[in-house]
Chains A and B, each alone.
Chain A
Amino acid sequence: MPETITVTIDRFDPQVDKTPHPATFRVPRQDGMVVADVLQYLYENDTPDLGFLWECRTRRCGTCAMRVNGRPVLTCSEPVADEMRLEPLEGLPVIRDLIVDRQELQRRLAPWAGEAHQQGVRETRILLQQGEIAHYRALSECIDCFICDSVCPALAENSSSASQFAGPRRLIRLEAQVQRRAEPLPWLVYAAQGNPSLCTRCFACTQVCPRDLRPAEAIGSLTKRLYERQELDAHKASHIRSFIHSIRSGAWLDEFRLLVDIYGVFGVVKFVPQALRMLVHGKLPRPHFGHPAQTKDIQAVLRGLENTRSS
């Protein structure tokens, strides 16, 4: 094991720099060192103006999140590598060096506070039963590290469009509120404004969560609640209805029918130019006739599965 660690840090000071510039340092290695050790060493011995945050040291404050060799992690518990590149979290405004905009406390923690629809909400909460407690905790223990938001493609895609996506971090918080409040409607309305149905269900958020929470599942649950309470707009609701119907009737998703169900037979016409463009670029799958279970490839998979089961 080399005696020193080579670390490259993206330095950026908005008052001086136009773009980040990498700077490389060498730091002596110690037993069991974590990435935050390296940063603190540099701050104390080399670079007094290195911008990075930490507070609790124990995965509870969420402030020390950044990318280490491309992976978003909490630096307080991330073991060091011989060579490391440290960058701020992706997709968030950079304040300075490795510090990103974690938003004002109110916007981050209770964005609904002071909203009109919150007026007159009583503070009664449901006392949870034994079985529900663990589930609630899995939602409520989010530490606002912003790691999930930083990897969310739906958030990156929809941040500037008219239909804004609230992102996994805010939605898991809202799902916790909905579950706990005796009158959950204001929080559901608030969640609906965050467009949970824009989630692409890629599960990247659940994969990276440093506390093993499941934001993707929480978003799914919120969407379901909204569907059941008919709080979704007509397009989204018919999308879900068609989806369910399609799966129920044939155990597969008939995408053409999905389109027809949502937009109607005549509504589909407006997609023709897009379909043609996709066809030209080779992005359209070959038309397929018959039930997918009849195709050779899928039958091979099913046979394989059967063999594994019997052995």
Chain B
Amino acid sequence: MRLDAACISSDILVIGAGGAGLRAALEASRRGARVIVLSKGPVPGGATSVSGGVIQAAVGSGDSPEQHFRDTVLGGRFLNNQRLVNTFVRNAPQKVLDLERYGCAFDRKKDGSLDLRMPSGATRNRGIEGEVNSNIQKILAQRALESGARIHEFMMVTRLLQDSKGAVCGATAIDFSCGAFLVFVARVVILTTGAVGRLYKVTACPRSSTGDGIALARQVGARFVNLEMMQFIPLAYAYPEFIKGFTLGEAPNYGHHTRLLNSKGERFMPKYDAKRAEYSTRDVVARANYIEVQEGRGTPHGGVWVDTSQNDRKDGLYQPHKLADRYQMIVDFYGAKKANFEEPFEATPSALFLIGGVEIDPSCRTNVPGLLGAGEVTANLHGANRLGANALAEIQVFGSIAGVQALEEIQGSQRQVPEPDSLRGQIDAEKAAVFGLLQNTGKKRACHFKREIQRIMWDGVGVVREGKNLGNALAELRQLRDVIRGGMTVAKQSLYNYDWVEALEVPKMIDVAEMMAASALSRTESRGAHYRTDFPKEDDEHWLRETVVQEIGGKLSISSQPVNMSVVPLMELQAV
């Protein structure tokens, strides 16, 4: 081989080492496949590592997959892809309980049955809890390693490689722990890169969640669905800066009598939802909090007051004996009085979860041959609003399906690991571009462009949207792309050079942000997480449809398609 880059070959390449990626790697490697997993951050890391501790699956008595289906689709305002939901609810109990066999320890009662709780939006006790999710991730990684998978940390994937027929057959990456350029070739690639929260100024997501996978898939012509559906969590830390946006959950987490107050001490939620007030859905509460702050009634740190004083201290989730580390965080950052419900504390809405993403079928196949997807990077399980605890089950179900499907693709097709020489053009061009960044041609650093993107997205494509602002955001993003094409200032350093990593991330973030803004502009209604002041009503007549974005011939094509409602007809759901 005469390639000027180390080339590593495997049967299956998994990009992303959160719950979905590791589960896929585990399922494939224990069936004998050679699997390589690339993680941009450390393991544990990514959105899985910081997620809440509850996983939803219909395992309790009096519960059923059918009931789980109904809750999910009602919560999603009928916009969910029902074929995916159906696969999801039927597989969730088994795939989630597998985790116990792998080494997790969920809460159980004295009689040995699971100790379940009711996640918000559910109608049955269905939330399995007890394990810190970084721990689930760690256990999955251990099991995958034991079955022979290889997992590499600090790998920034820069592009997907395609063979002459257009099938995805590998990726190029920077091992930024040492600054080496690497080529990975494989027979199938699974995309599990997860969240995009870092596109926003205030987010619950960790450092790695910049939406790389969506940008990677865009380059190879993948179809994206419902990218406007970005979910915001109503309550998150308002300070200190470093953890600003990290989730504080929602009203029910603190008990049955949580009240939200603005800077004037007014209880404002009844104005937005007369019936349920603070206990309304996530999207409504997040929106109300955002509007209160926007209209000048925010707290000193730009949030609202959460008054928990009327709650029973033994009732909520954020208690010493429940989520020990979450409770301790409130003590550390806000003080013991606030943690113990003696004083109100500040909270801000925060970017949490992208419901839209790469379009997949129930076998995790995308429209691009050779490319599978699972987890948050994919669409559209959750419709217009994701129920709490459904995402952690999603990554187990679809991660596992993707791993098995990848094996089938290998066995069913004649596809071989490509000859690296045949990919030479793509590899050389990418290598030149990646190292070209270090030539320091621009005036500004990537982290400053990043702040710029985060501001544009928060203001323009955030909690509350409007046609005019969406258009402006789109224009600003495209302008920024042109500026960045002129280069950036990048530190020269080969060991853990985050300045370089961010310079690689920023163009990808713009690619993702652009598609999100364009999708949001095209959906001329409000539904769940997507709220537009110029179209404030749900429009079932025109918009029980998925928005579709795809890059074709260098241009974005924006269209829509009917939502898959093949399982339970709308009429029947609306009658519930």
Contacts and interface: CB of A to CB of B under 8 A. Distances in A.
Interface of A: 13-15, 30-34, 36-37, 40, 43-44, 48-49, 51, 53-63, 76-77, 79, 95-96, 99, 102, 105-106, 109-110, 112-114, 118, 123-125, 127-130, 133, 136-137, 140-141, 143, 180, 211
Nearest to A99: B496
B142 A49 contact: no
Contact of A48 (B44, B46, B242, B491): B491
Interface in B421-454: 445, 447-448
Contacts of B241: 30, 33, 37, 40
Given A49-B491, A59-B325, A113 B102 contact: no
B109 interface: yes
Nearest to A44: B447
Contacts, number: 171
Given A58-B50, A60-B132, A143-B134, A34 B145 contact: no
A109 B42 contact: no
B329 A56 contact: no
Contacts of A127: 100, 112
B101 interface: yes
B146 A113 contact: yes
B412 interface: no
Contacts of B132: 60, 141
Interface in B118-165: 130-132, 134-135, 138-139, 141-143, 145-146, 148, 150-153
Given A106-B145, A109-B138, A61 B45 contact: yes
B240 A109 contact: no
A211 B208 contact: no
A59 B49 CA distance: 10
A137 B105 contact: yes
Interface of B: 41-46, 49-50, 100-103, 105, 107-110, 112, 130-132, 134-135, 138-139, 141-143, 145-146, 148, 150-153, 177, 206-208, 239-243, 246, 301, 325, 329, 332-333, 445, 447-448, 489-499
B112 A129 contact: yes
B142 A95 contact: no
Nearest to B447: A44
Q: Which 10 A-B pairs have the closest CB atoms?
A: A60-B134, A32-B240, A48-B491, A49-B491, A110-B142, A113-B145, A37-B242, A55-B45, A110-B145, A113-B146
A76 B493 CA distance: 24
B67 to A, nearest CB: 26
Nearest to A38: B242
A34 B240 contact: yes
B223 to A, nearest CB: 31
B142 A113 contact: yes
B445 A48 contact: yes
B101 A125 contact: yes
Contacts of A44: 445, 447-448
A57 B242 contact: yes
B326 to A, nearest CB: 8
| Chain A CB within 10 A, most for which of B107, B242, B496 | B242
Given A31-B240, A77-B329, A109 B141 contact: yes
Given A48-B491, A77-B332, A56 B49 contact: yes
A32 B242 CA distance: 10
B146 A118 contact: yes
A140 B445 contact: no
Contacts of B150: 106
Contacts of B134: 56, 60-61, 143
A55 B142 contact: no
A48 B43 CA distance: 24
A51 B498 CA distance: 8
Nearest to B131: A137
Most buried by B among A58, A59, A113: A58
B78 to A, nearest CB: 34
10 contacts: A33-B240, A34-B333, A55-B41, A55-B206, A58-B243, A61-B206, A109-B142, A110-B146, A128-B108, A211-B325
Given A130-B110, A137-B130, 5 more contacts: A43-B499, A56-B45, A57-B206, A76-B242, A109-B138
A133 B240 contact: no
Contact of A140 (B135, B447, B489, B490): B135
B550 to A, nearest CB: 32
Contacts of A49: 491-493, 497, 499
A106 B207 contact: no
A55 B208 contact: yes
Contact of B108 (A48, A99, A130): A130
Nearest to B492: A49
A106 B29 CA distance: 15
A112 to B, nearest CB: 8
B46 to A, nearest CB: 8
B240 A95 contact: no
A54 B243 CA distance: 12
A56 B108 contact: no
Contacts of A31: 239-240, 301
Contacts of B102: 123, 125
Question: Which of B103, B139, B151, B301 has the most CB atoms of chain A within a 10 A radius of its CB?
Answer: B103
B49 A123 contact: no
Contacts of B143: 123
A31 to B, nearest CB: 5
B499 A34 contact: no
Contacts of B109: 130
A106 B112 CA distance: 34
A110 B207 CA distance: 25
B240 A53 contact: no
Contacts of B208: 55
A95 B495 contact: yes
B105 A136 contact: yes
B50 A56 contact: yes
B495 A96 contact: yes
